[in-house]
Structure 1
């Protein structure tokens, strides 16, 4: 099955409506978007004057299970739990890919990460021809800003500002004061910078603000969890890791950074309430990928791909609801655009309607029941390409694709001959590697060779530890899910399905400098002064000169941990 690919989806301005979309007006908006336009609907839409503000909060490496709103009694998240009680909780939200740079790109563009060419891998860049919801809002009258980690890590190349928004990072405040000599948490005061953004704003202008925390990404500072009263002995270790003190201590430090995120989210809500903005501000909370532990982040198992997703809009949406539908974080872009009044009928990319370009679909019908929309998803689709360069991996990444339904997860490993080691390090990983003989099955699950196909019954095997792909009783299911997976990938023009895997292999990786004897890139070349085509040609030349494994081993040796 083939589909036409949009070759140059540059942004085209339209006369899209900048009218508000409060619940009383959504009937008119949906009529404009999805059906015939009645005179009453046109009049209602035309009379609206107050578009909603947007605050988008995104954590860095947080799995869905580690909030009180998702059932955890080990992590204290009262502020996010309040958003959940008063808003809507999505129980089954999944990323396009569990790696920071491309995951954030897919959230911003509403497209599968594998569709974003140079933006499909870690430490790449997001070409300006791929429009983002932040840019569309800015072009239609919104003031757009960001603090903390926006689209990252990578380099802008052909963009003037980070796709998440113009940065507001000037206010710094070291977390926990002087209690720790070397604290590895960011000193960006996210909430204070949000308020500074508001101080500089025109109060009559709607705003969109991206708050990207650098937490709970590694590294962690030993002792923060204990100082906050988190008892590592009470930590529940997922069964795909050893239940050992070293692992529990590591998870406790991860919990500590989640609690810091919660405190910042609470301060943001205080700012909105103090300024009287809570009645017409949409607040979204999510994460870019799962916890930075083995068999989680950078994998296609649930602890790598399943995310928290909370929507809050005061009294404008009925709160206290938990939605079981399968959703993708690519759905965020079309949802926010729709609530902002930028209906798909008026937004086009190079003459192609936005709804046709985006793989995401609006969540508005789920957030406001009874409104028309696209049919509920029967599955979500995910991918994984290069996450980094790691010793002992044989130099190769571990490209994979997956389909996730309510009942099953099927993973296709495109390079089962590779070794899946390009995942983040840390005490838990070190412990597992140093104690492989004591925990051979768990070590093999995270770091050993994998079959080309992995099939899991997610209801009976929530941790995805029992591969059913080679069980003949599941052969028909395996074939059916495989047909759906590959059919979808072909329909969305996945380069790996079209014989163009080199687009991922040779994609720029701006975290690397080649050393003597191969190529040396200056700091300027790492940044803005080398074009993509020039960099790709250097990669091709180096790859051809010394072969695949030596090529990637040189990258590993010169990386110095810059992830």
Structure 2
């Protein structure tokens, strides 16, 4: 079939594979400024609440401290999972990753480190196909909902959602994405992802001169106190300082553009520190994050809140700020004084690279409950990516030499308890398991019930193996593909064509763009007019999250 059909302004309705162009724009008056607030999210990687404004005297974070002084510091903020991709996926959808198949780390690529391994050693991992998580048909990246309501949305630039975001998700999605590129009069929603504190930077920056004195850091009791471990912890503080400098540059641009009086700013990390038993571990160390909100219309002046906050709440909160209804499918709630605070924060931990496991956790204001669904699997599994870190190498060396003390030995136990319960106020490192103590039976029963109720409510897909889950998501053994959009072209008068777009795939977003206008994709909602006074090319694509995108459609419109 010919994929490129030419149409003139007398063309009738056409449905099928095609390719066409865009209209000449009619000059319109400059738009009035939109009164809705601009919204800026600054996120970082792999960082526990070590900021100076959180009370850590080693933290050199003047820019984030200044931001915190203008807003609210949340002391009890948690990720939904202690690793990047599932965490970021739950943020962008507002749904727990385990409810739509995004809970594993990762699903749609395999790193060169892993790829070089002996496939027989990690057979269960290498037998898995690459796949994208598939949420229900009505789910969108919440940035797309913002775009539909007139916000200019930019992401700079990490996505890592365990699915490929449709082109309709962002106006710009690249390392060059910036609110400064928006049309006049449009409010913006801008996300900047800063990589300086990522786990990998602990070893990749190891040749740089340390500013933080390793002798001044606190070594957690589950580590032996060695020079190598102190050096890695000190490196986190140095990397955090570099991250803070990047935050300062973003805030400076906001001030240069005179936007501080109409911009709400949110800062958070995607999960806890990149150190062993922090990242990938479903304890306080892996889940608790720094979280700051600064609003221009109030002066909280560094207010501290003990309200429970989950990163699942980011989407509903941003939508509420923008005056956009929160979809019923979202699991999160807006962070607002007018909305009752959550009673519990929930978290998941599943396959981490090659290491297959399944644990769930719930915390309230004082206790953390953990259910280990694979208790025969040890806490510590061989994860090649993590093994590049000196701290991990040191831990293995101490284990082999039998030099651990009692607390240090816990994490290297050959099995896990089925249930764990910790007093997170008095035991912030989660080292004393209270689950079998009679005095805590009522607490254990309550937390267990909260976990089981939540797991049933969200439809946790880890009740089956990952391979079986993929088949359920796909409806077979092959990733489904979004169907080709259908196009109707109808003559509406001299030099103009009414263009309609549809897609038979339930839940597919349709994006279109005229090449003469640049790279950004428009979201299709209703038929639009193209004026064929000059040649142009209209590109169309449909994409349901988790499916392969449709084949591209190209429409040539000629006068």
Alignment partner, residue 87 of structure 1: 71
Residue by residue, what CA displacement relative to the aligned partner does 1:18-54 show, whole Å, maximum 9, x if unpaired? xxxxxxxxxxxxxxxxxxxxxxxxxxxxx99411111
Alignment partner, residue 387 of structure 1: 352
- Counterpart selection for 1:99 from 78, 83, 88: 83
- Counterpart selection for 1:76 from 60, 63, 88: 60
Q: Which has the higher contact order (CA 8 A, sep 6+)?
A: 2
Residue by residue, what CA displacement relative to the aligned partner does 1:507-528 show, whole Å, maximum 9, x if unpaired? 59xxxxxxxxxxxxxxxxxxxx
Q: Which moved more, 1:110-119 or 1:214-223?
A: 214-223
Alignment partner, residue 393 of structure 2: 430
- Counterpart selection for 2:362 from 391, 395, 403: 403
* TM-score normalised by L of structure 1: 0.69
Displacement after TM superposition at 1:241 (Å):
1.6
Give me the whole-angstrom Cα distance separating, in 1, the residues matched to 2:143 and 2:104: 19
**CA spacing shift, 1:250–1:216, aligned 2, 3 Å:** same
Displacement after TM superposition at 1:226 (Å):
6.2
Displacement after TM superposition at 1:470 (Å):
1.8
- Counterpart selection for 1:55 from 32, 35, 40: 40
**CA spacing shift, 1:92–1:488, aligned 2, 3 Å:** same
Alignment partner, residue 331 of structure 2: 359
1:123 aligns with 2:86: no
Give me the whole-angstrom Cα distance separating, in 2, the residues matched to 1:507 and 1:211: 31
Displacement after TM superposition at 1:308 (Å):
0.7
- The structure whose residues are more often strand, as a share, is 2
Give me the whole-angstrom Cα distance separating, in 1, the residues matched to 2:475 and 2:60: 45
Give me the whole-angstrom Cα distance separating, in 1, the residues matched to 2:102 and 2:226: 40
Residue by residue, what CA displacement relative to the aligned partner does 1:80-124 show, whole Å, maximum 9, x if unpaired? 011111111111011111111110011111111211224654234
Aligned residues: 415
Alignment partner, residue 282 of structure 1: 264
**CA spacing shift, 1:144–1:360, aligned 2, 3 Å:** same
1:167 aligns with 2:173: yes
Displacement after TM superposition at 1:259 (Å):
0.8
Q: Secondary structure at the match of 1:357?
A: coil
Residue by residue, what CA displacement relative to the aligned partner does 1:262-308 show, whole Å, maximum 9, x if unpaired? 00111111101111011111111101111111211111111100111
Displacement after TM superposition at 1:71 (Å):
0.9
Give me the whole-angstrom Cα distance separating, in 2, the residues matched to 1:504 and 1:160: 28
Alignment partner, residue 142 of structure 2: 133
**Runs of 5+ unmatched residues, structure 2:** 1-31, 109-131, 481-559
- Counterpart selection for 1:420 from 375, 379, 384: 379
Give me the whole-angstrom Cα distance separating, in 2, the residues matched to 1:295 and 1:402: 15
- The structure whose residues are more often helix, as a share, is 1
Q: Which has the greater radius of gyration? A: 2
Q: Secondary structure at the match of 1:435?
A: helix
Alignment partner, residue 467 of structure 1: 433
Give me the whole-angstrom Cα distance separating, in 2, the residues matched to 1:59 and 1:338: 23
Alignment partner, residue 241 of structure 1: 223
Residue by residue, what CA displacement relative to the aligned partner does 1:474-521 show, whole Å, maximum 9, x if unpaired? 22321221112111211222234xxx422477559xxxxxxxxxxxxx
- Counterpart selection for 1:441 from 406, 409, 432: 406
1:148 aligns with 2:107: no
**Runs of 5+ unmatched residues, structure 1:** 1-46, 170-192, 345-353, 366-371, 391-396, 509-530, 538-563
Q: Over aligned residue pairs, what C-alpha RMSD do you find?
A: 2.6
Contact 1:242 1:442 in 2 (8 A): no
